[in-house]
Amino acid sequence: MSTLVQRRHEIELPKRILIGTDVVNEVGNTIRQLDLGSNAIIITGPHVYQKYHNLLEESLERSKIEYNFVIVKSSTADDAEHALEEARAYKPSVVIGFGGGKSIDIAKYVAFKLGVEMVSVPTAASHDGIASPFASIKGVNGPVSMKVKPPIAIIADTRIIAEAPSRLLRAGSGDLIAKLTAVRDWKLAHKLKGEYYGEYAASLALLSARHVIRYAITIRRGGIEAAHIVVEGLISSGVAMCIAGSTRPASGSEHLFSHALDMIAPKPALHGEQVAIGTIMMMYLHGGPWKRIRRILRKIGLPTTARELGIKDEYIIKALTIAHRVRPERYTILGESGLTWEAAERIARITGVID
């Protein structure tokens, strides 16, 4: 099924991956070992800064690395530009992304624009941008997945990640289960549009989904072991994106639905929660085992209904009807003309997302 339509395929991968308890203490010496200079900018969010800034500071100070923090609240294009200007003034030799998906996305963007390496220090296992070579930046017409560089190092402290609200770890599992429909959409685009399809990258993405399905009960319980399992899956999905050279193995119609919700819902839920619900509905459209997906999400403790997501039914339906327009170049099961209001409502009702 692999099509070698790409004449030249360049794959860039992270160089160092550290997963374990208290590895946050090794950020400074990793920067030294990888020869990334001695002037770091740390992009983080206000909560994570408050909770954990001292841990990172101690590690950097031990390695005699100067640092400054840039605090970001979201990952809009405006926030990314502001962070870039603030960071530029410090002339950093390396950028550290410290926090959830939004901080890591902005850190990747800033590092890319400044032409320096980026170190990913996730404090939550809530998304697979931890290791991917893309920065998801929210523009006025929806999110853009900008091709940047993969983080040169990933330092995932499972003690910090296990301490984060359990909802975040479950959301990360949701982002991985989404690969089940993302890969189906990718295959469909290959068959109908002749798009490049990489079987190896697709298999790796699916493996990360199967990994969390296998450990659903452990993940629901939370704790350090669960954090370790989910982080490994998220990193391997990120590597699948590095290999594919696109977010195709990780993002399909279920992601388009979530991006659409982000654009229209007054208070969107977590990325991983939204894509998980999207996976139920898109699997139904693909004619696949959508009830099984719903059972797995329940087992993990993820929301499976609009009510549990905290989003009104009308936004779910509306998001389904506009999802195909979010990234028109990305062909999925939603086709080129998308779903009518009636069809969207029917799908959401049949799958139990709305009642």
CA dist 345 and 77 (Å) reads: 32
151 belongs to the binding site for ligand NAI (CB under 6 A): no
| 247 touches ligand 13P (CB under 6 A) | yes
Which segment (32-40, 168-176, 201-209, 221-229) binds Zn ion by CB under 5 A?
Answer: 168-176
For residue 336, what are the contacts with CB-CB under 8 A and spacing of at least 6? Answer: 324, 328
Q: How far apart are CA 250 and CA 206, in angstroms?
A: 9
Contact 254, 178 (CB under 8 A): yes
Segment 269 to 328, residues that bind ligand NAI, using CB under 6 A: 270-272
Residue closest to Zn ion, measured at CB = 175
Strands 142-147 and 134-139: antiparallel
Question: What are the tokens at 306?
Answer: 């609009």
124 belongs to an annotated ligand binding site: yes
- Rule CB under 6 A: which of 129-158 touch ligand 13P? 136, 143, 145
Q: What is the DSSP secondary-structure string of 255-279?
A: HHHHHHHHHH-SS---HHHHHHHHH
Minimum distance from CB of 121 to ligand NAI (Å)? 10
Identified binder of ligand NAI from the candidate list 171, 212, 242, 293, rule CB under 6 A: 171
CB 250, min distance to ligand 13P, A: 4
Kindly state the tokens that stand for 342: 């009636």
In the complex, what is the shortest distance from the CB of residue 189 to ligand NAI, in angstroms, rounded to a whole number? 19
Q: Which of 26, 105, 117, 128 binds ligand 13P (CB under 6 A)?
A: 128
Q: By beta-carbon distance, which residue lies closest to ligand NAI?
A: 101
Residues 6 or more apart whose Cβ sits within 8 Å of residue 20: 156, 157, 158, 228
Is 311 within any annotated ligand binding site?
Answer: no
32 vs 53, which CB is nearer to ligand NAI? Answer: 53
Give min distance, CB of 37 to Zn ion, in A. Answer: 31
Site string (171-210) toward Zn ion, x via CB under 5 A: ----x-----------------------------------
Binding of residue 255 to ligand 13P (CB under 6 A): yes
Closer residue to ligand 13P, CB minimum distance, 117 or 254? 254
Cα–Cα distance between 35 and 18 in angstroms, integer? 17
Q: Among 61, 152, 47, 34, which Cα is nearest to 98's?
A: 47
CA distance 320 to 316: 6
Q: For residue 139, which of 97, 73, 78 has the smallest C-alpha distance?
A: 78
**If contact means CB under 5 to 8 A according to the sort of partner, which of ligand NAI, ligand 13P, Zn ion, none does residue 308 touch?**
none
Residue 300 near residue 170, CB atoms below 8 Å:
yes
Check if the beta carbon of residue 66 is closer than 8 Å to that of residue 40: yes
Q: 20: which DSSP letter?
A: E
Site residues (vs ligand 13P, CB under 6 A): 128, 136, 143, 145, 175, 247, 250-251, 255
Site residues (vs ligand NAI, CB under 6 A): 45, 47-48, 51, 75, 99-103, 105, 123-124, 126-129, 132, 134-136, 143, 160, 163-165, 168, 171, 175, 270-272
